[in-house]
Amino acid sequence: MEEQEYIWKKIKKTKQREAVCRVLEEMKKPMSAADIYQEILRRDTACGYAVSTVYRALQIFEEEGFVGKTSLPDSDMALYEWNEGGHTHYAICLNCHKRIALKECPFYHMDLSETADGFQITGHKVEVYGYCSICKDKRDRR
């Protein structure tokens, strides 16, 4: 509950933003804005707002650092994930688009606070691409 109070001190609390927040926190996986909207509709068929409202809420959450945004290669569809204080990197299947969380950050043991030329690093994103075990087996059988 403390996290919720912190969120609403940083941004204006609305019913729509609360719904988006709740879905992302509970689903615990990257989701598109359309998927988030569909989940909100599933929970409350009379929500009465458009998917554009979800996009606006996601933009505000992203600007404040509550949500991370990523996309699949060769796709313009963004996926959003609730930021639970740490960060997660993914292996992404190029065939079925399954996202598999890596157990550890590849940079975990590196000091990324500053580069030699004084560039201050404030964050990073790593995604690796390949084929999940199911898609790999299908490819191997061809």
Residue 53 CB neighbour total at 10 angstroms: 20
Which domains, and CATH codes, for the chain?
Answer: 1-84 (1.10.10.10), 87-142 (3.30.1490.190)
The span from the CA of 45 to the CA of 115, in Å, is: 51
- pLDDT tops 70 at residue 116: no
> Worst-scoring range by mean pLDDT, 14-28, 43-57, 107-121, 122-136?
107-121
pTM score:
0.66
What is residue 135's predicted lDDT score, i.e. its pLDDT? 92
- How confident is the model over 80-91, as a mean pLDDT? 75
CA 56-21-97 angle, to 5 degrees, is 80
For residue 58, the model assigns a pLDDT of 94
